[in-house]
Structure 1
Amino acid sequence: MAARAALRRRYWASVPARLRLLRAVTVLLAAALAVLLTVAGFAVLGAWSSVADRDAPRTTSAADLDLALNDMDAQAANILLSNGDAGKGRLQTPYTKAVGYYGDARREIGHDLRTLAVAAQGSRADEQTVESLTDDFAEYQELIGRALENDGHSGGKAAALADYRRATDLLRTRLLPAASTLVSSNNAAFDAEYASARSTLDTQLAAVLALGALLLAVLGALQWYLTRRFRRILNPGVLAATVCTLLAVILGSQMLSASATHLRVARHDAFDSVVALSRARAIAYDANADESRYLLDPQRRAQYEASFLAKSQELYGLKDATLSTYNAELDTTWQAYRTDHRDLRFTGEFRRELDNITFPGERAAAEQTVETYAVYQRDDRKVRALLAAGKEREAAEFCMGWDPDTSNAHFGEWMAALDRVAGINRAHFTSSVGEGRSAVDGLLPWAAGLSVAAALLCMVGLRPRLAEFA
């Protein structure tokens, strides 16, 4: 008991001891606030680096791979369809365009596979998926190469078609499911990183507010004690330290809350739409390929017609619609939506985008995408009608032609409209990342610096009072 009493007298009973104790507590709390703000700021910058340099690129690379695989297969079908008999009767413009786009898609796939191989490091499941994709793609290229070689020989159309069937079956059963798995896996990883970052930001904001409130309370108690003990109204140093602390808490809170807002905009308002639109684009290319396959392979027309309808339902889903009723129902439900934006009688990727309209100009661009899609759907029925009438060459020319008012031209307009919507969301994703980083770069030095200044000002403000007892 005697030792405890002596200790109490040493550290609290005398005025200098009380001042030194309050000074130590204030300095420690101010230092802790500075450290907390610094750690939080660097953690936010790390989260932005993950979002911008890893999570988003690997998700979009997986979506781009899905699209490029569909495009490559569609262009292979177009080459076979437009080549005639070893070049005799060739549809020259469609053939030349298809050869060029085929090469572009093949190079894009190689680039995406390399990107995804790097991104998959650390995830054994993703590594195995990318390895399997790479092996299967090599086999797919071999089959397509053989098909194109056979098609270059007079009378080789049947052998070419057999090889193409094997290739497109490989694409559908192994390559596309694996690519879709990577899109989902990488997007889920991004979502998990986002959830973790938001949770950390919320915790750090609460800690900054709590620590700041405690420091302000200690500074208030110190000011009160100085006023009471030395009969002065205010201590300038402690008052300045209080102002610095208040500003540090305000700026630090603003930094963390702004980061959370920009992170939400980047992930959900912008990138959710980017993913939905990337999926829509890949599905669109697959549906477009089904048209070419339908013309190319008479024995599988029923299969490719059903596949085209399934893709259409993924994009703009209409309950119980058939190919013969789809266009009329599309027109009816779309008109209902245009009359009342709350009247959404359809599902699919377009609905997902329309449910997430956030940015200026986005709704008009999204609506234009659906309207160009409706034009493309009407073209598809014309292709099938021409084929049913025995006009196979006219059907192929309309399907693959690049003249105005042909199916390919309208498909290009649809993709351009879809790209405009995606571009709006990508631009806001990029701006949110930039603004999030700028918020940290601009506010962190001030917030942390003011916390350090509070500690120094407190020490300076108490020095004259402690000197009185020297």
Structure 2
Amino acid sequence: MTNTISLSSKAITKLTTPQLLKGGLYLTWGASFLVLIATISGVQSARHAIKTVGKDSAPSIISAQRIKDSLADMDANAANEFLVPSGQNPEAVKSYEERRQKVNRMMLDAAKNITYDEEDKIILTLQVKLGEYLTKIQQVRDFHARNDKNGVLVHYREAADLIDNTLLPAADKLNEVNWKALDRTYGDEQFASARSLFLVVISSFLLISILVAIQLFLSNRMRRTLNPMLLAATAIAILFLGYTTRAFLSASNNLKVAKEDGLQSIQDLRKARSIAYSANGDESRYLLDTALAAKHEQAYSKKVSQLATFAQGQDFQTVATSFAQSQVKEVNGFTGYLADELKNITFDGEREAAVDTLSNFGQYYAIDQQIRQLQRSGKYAEAIALCVGNKPGQSNWAFAQFLQANQNTIDINQKAFDEAVDQGFKDVDGFEVVTLVVAVAIALLTLFGLLPRIKEYSA
């Protein structure tokens, strides 16, 4: 190794000054080209990561959760419709129809935006089984209109089975496919971003080192302290390195904010929302299908525990108060999707909205307990009235308060997510052109800075 270095040093010392200057010029051009390639490659990688998170996977993930929302709420409205005599709950019928139209539109949109192979089969299952479900509900309506309670229960159970065991799991699967792909891509792109920044820094330092070495050579060999063209090229290289580093780090940070802060909270909140819709349906089923009341009560309790589980002595209101009165990130023993959101508070106003979400679900839960107490006390009509009522203090009113608080929290995170994605694109916008201009400028400045010195030896 020492002999190789020695031979290389001897070879260099044998070169003439014009040859050394030309060699420095060519090295500068080569290093500029490396900076150009490394920067453009990194920019394209960063842009692809932002596009994957912000434009490809995120809309599909949110769409899958909204499909699940609509399916669960549609079924809850159907159960509310059948709790009272035919024609006496027009609000439930209207809400059911609105949800039916919405879920059909969303499935159509999902079919047009298939990104991964697995989605095709899942969306087909959703479309086919939704048709079967709608047919079952129409049959239930026919029996309901004839006041045939046995026919209502038999066919509604079949419809409920489709919702619980096929449609909702399919919507979850659609979400899971896109979320896994997003996680995989995000991890790959984070590594690629770090690698790209490393290559940009290394190639830029190489370029700057070559430019400094050439100036030192000129100063020592030709007694010229300053070469304005080379100084300008060096300054541009240093400034561009700072500019590029800042842009890459900003794009990476915005990608993190979008995925880990914004989208993760949206995912948790959306899951909480769809589970709450499903639990609300179980509440109505508890009154509609009294023969299977224990089953529906168990399903309701299981879903509530997915939203929030507390340590002994805690409840919705005590935990909400703890979060409202301090800046704690978590409360010991408090778990579930609502807890996950409160652990991931990042943006202005998010804590207050998330606390309202928790508190309002607690209010809904307390009314649910009243419904069950009325049912157990033999006050069936009063339990139904409390369940389907929309006035303050009634179940649907309380559930609407929860939904609004939940949506407010989602909106805060969605706004932050959109802003992070937009800023991420801006961070790398037009970088290819800027990088090309910088590389060409450095190459030309080096040429014009060295050409007069080379010509001195040619004269």
TM-score, with normalisation over the residues of structure 2? 0.92
Match of 2:356 in 1: 368
Matched, 1:113 2:107: yes
The match for 2:133 is 140
Size of the alignment, in residue pairs? 448
Alpha-carbon separation, structure 2, partners of 1:425 and 1:443: 29
How far did residue 11 of structure 1 move? 11
Judge conservation of contact 1:22–1:222 (CA < 8 Å) in 2. Answer: yes
Partner of 2:216: 224
Give per-residue Cα distances to partners, 1:134-172, cap 9 Å, x unaligned: 2222211111121122222x2333212211110101211
What residue in structure 2 maps to residue 196 of structure 1?
188
- Structure 2 vs 1, CA of residues 313 and 400 (structure 1 numbering), >3 Å: closer, same or farther? same
Name the counterpart of 1:127: 120
1:285-434 mapped onto 2 (5 Å cutoff): 285-318=277-310, 329-335=315-321, 341=328, 342-434=330-422
Which residue does 1:30 correspond to in 2?
Answer: 32
For the 8 Å contact 1:48–1:437, the answer to whether it is kept is yes
Q: Which residue of 1 aligns with 2:441?
A: 453
Cα distance in structure 2, aligned partners of 1:404 and 1:332: 22
Aligned-pair Cα RMSD in Å: 2.2
Q: TM-score, normalised by structure 1?
A: 0.90
User: Which whole-Å CA distance do the structure 1 matches of 2:245 and 2:322 have between them?
Assistant: 45
**TM-aligned CA distance change 1:111 to 1:11, over 3 Å:** farther
- The answer to whether the Cα contact below 8 Å between 2:316 and 2:362 also exists between their aligned partners in 1 is yes
CA–CA distance in structure 1, aligned partners of residues 390 and 123 of structure 2: 35
- Tell me which amino acid in the other structure corresponds to 1:460: F
After the TM superposition, which of the residue ranges 277-286 and 244-253 deviates more from structure 2? 244-253
2:71 to 57, 69, 72: 69
- Pairwise CA distance, 1:58: 0.5
Where structure 2 has 5 or more consecutive residues not aligned to the other structure, the ranges are 1-6
CA distance in 2: counterparts of 1:10 and 1:356, whole angstroms: 60
Q: Which moved more, 1:106-115 or 1:437-446?
A: 437-446
1:335, CA displacement in angstroms? Answer: 4.8
1:226-245 equivalences in 2 (<5 Å): 226-245=218-237
Match of 1:44 among 39, 46, 51: 46
Mapped partners of 1:168, 1:12: distance in 2: 89
Equivalent position of 2:98 in the other structure = 104
Aligned 1:255-294 pairs, distance under 5 A = 255-294=247-286
Give 2:200's match in structure 1, choosing from 201, 208, 213: 208
SS at match of 1:346: coil
Runs of at least 5 residues in structure 1 that lack an aligned partner in the other structure: none
Q: Which residue matches 2:3?
A: none
2:14 and 2:400 mapped to 1: Cα distance? 81
> Would you say the 8 A contact 2:317–2:359 is kept in 1?
no
CA deviation profile, 1:229-287 (whole Å, cap 9, x unmatched): 21100111111110011111111111111111000000001110000000000011011
Q: Is the 1:68–1:109 Cα contact (8 Å) retained in structure 2?
A: yes
In structure 2, what is the Cα distance between the partners aligned to 1:190 and 1:119? 15
| Offset at residue 98 of structure 1 (A) | 1.1
Distance 1:149 1:428 in 2: 47
Confirm or deny: 8 A CA contact 2:18 2:457 kept in the other structure: yes
Residue 147 of structure 2, aligned match among 144, 152, 155: 155
The residue identity in structure 1 corresponding to 2:420 is: S
Q: Distance in 2 between matches of 1:197 and 1:122?
A: 18
Counterpart of 2:245? 253
Distance 1:33 1:121 in 2: 34
Displacement of 1:405 after TM fit?
2.1
Q: 1:122 to 1:267 in 2, by over 3 A?
A: closer
Q: Describe the SS at the equivalent of 2:352.
A: helix
Instruction: Work out whether residues 233 and 442 of structure 2, in 8 Å CA contact, stay in contact via their aligned partners in 1.
Output: yes
- Tell me how far apart the structure 2 counterparts of residues 316 and 192 of structure 1 sit (CA, whole Å): 28
The structure 1 residue matched to 2:168, chosen from 176, 189, 195, is: 176
Aligned partners of 2:405, 2:335: CA distance in 1, in Å? 19
